[in-house]
Copies of this chain bind each other. A is one copy, B any other.
């Protein structure tokens, strides 16, 4: 990953893709011991933020396509990370909950994310960290 052409392309599409690619790959390695993928970890964090969200709410919260979410939830149910509870009032809804297996690892898993974030920003000053996050949030929320 270290050897970019000397003039790292002056292209935001490329820079964002490769910065994400690297952060994703590093975090992926950290999660291997847990048997979790990055996306599955994200789903758990989302549910710990607000337990019992429906699949639609979760997708909205985490900016995930419903088709993508449907697949990952199926695998997470099979692996025992989450449970789907049908709603009595509205039979279309599925309320998603983390399992005990997941909750037991909550502290460790959140710690892993913090470690990953520190690793990404280890060479940045406090001011730069704040600015960087603001820039990214602006890109995401723009329009």
Taking beta carbons and an 8 Å cutoff, which residues of A are in contact with B?
A: 1-5, 8, 10-24, 27, 38, 42, 60-61, 63, 113, 116-117, 120-124, 128, 131-133, 135-143
Contact = CB atoms under 8 A, between A and B. Distances in A.
Nearest to A121: B12
Nearest to A130: B10
B60 A3 contact: yes
A113 B11 contact: yes
Contacts of A13: 23-24, 27, 38, 113, 116-117, 120
A15 B141 contact: no
Contacts of A116: 12-13
Contacts of A22: 139-140, 142
Given A13-B38, A19-B16, A133-B10, A138 B124 contact: yes
B141 A135 contact: no
Contact of A131 (B1, B117, B131, B136): B131
A135 B132 contact: yes
9 contacts: A5-B61, A11-B117, A12-B116, A12-B121, A13-B23, A16-B120, A17-B24, A19-B139, A22-B140
